[in-house]
A = this chain, B = another copy of it.
Amino acid sequence: MSTVVPGRLYLVPTLLAPSAPEDVLPARTIAIARGLVHYIVENAKPARGFLKALGPAVPIRNIVIDEIGDTPTPARCAALLAPARDGHDLGLLSDAGCPGIADPGALVVAAAHREGIAVVPLVGPSSLVRALMASGMNGQRFTFHGYLPVKPDARAEAIRRLEADSQASGGAQLFIETPYRNAALLSALVATLKPATRLAVAADLTSASETIESRPAGEWRGRDPARYDKRPALFILQA
């Protein structure tokens, strides 16, 4: 279908960590997000917290907030987008950061394209981009892998494969971990990588405790990996 639908789907980035909205969101993003009264969200609770921090134009109880669910069917996506067919602009929110990057919002965006709904991405913080730009590694060629395997043998094998692929392509390899496993992943990286392979960790991005360290794996030895435990973090390696 490509009939033009009157309502638009605004992709609204949210805060990555507790901070003033003005620190990480442009005035235009804040103004548009304040004015929307229909939201499609990953989870209602963080969405309400974000809208409260912005100070919306109407009381929060008057804002329609629909949860996407983990893997929305095409029928569910169509139902979520129904207000746009009635002429209402919609906002899409992730729990943290940019909707559609590593969250189920991408399925809603794909459905919007199928229905001829204009998709408008607004500017806001991306932990991926901040970590990559701050790492000093190769921004001309990189891959984001999401999570690595948890079991030690499979994890070590995955780390060696990422390192070999980086050696072949020259690219940077980005991945994440559940925060309470950060120390285990960092120990495995330091134990598995060649000493010259570069390794960066970026934690608590945009918050007062933001930490970004980037150095060869060999120089990570002897540093306590527990410092990064339970802090949202991104890992980057380049051979």
Contact = CB atoms under 8 A, between A and B. Distances in A.
Interface stretch (A46-54, A56-64, A139-147, A182-190): A139-147
Given A26-B25, A141-B145, A121 B100 contact: no
A206 interface: yes
A106, A132, A136 pick with most chain B CB within 10 angstroms: A136
A106 B139 contact: yes
A91 interface: no
B123 A135 contact: no
A87 to B, nearest CB: 21
Given A26-B22, A26-B25, A27-B23, A141 B140 contact: no
A232 interface: no
If over half of A's interface residues share one DSSP class (helix, strand or loop), that class is named, otherwise mixed; here it is mixed
Contacts of A198: 110
Contacts of A102: 139-140
A136 B106 contact: yes
Interface residues of A, number: 59
Contact of A121 (B22, B133, B213): B133
A112 interface: yes
Given A126-B126, A138-B106, A141-B145, A100 B132 contact: yes
A134 B100 contact: yes
Contacts of A205: 121
Interface string A180-220: 00000000000000000010000001100010111100000
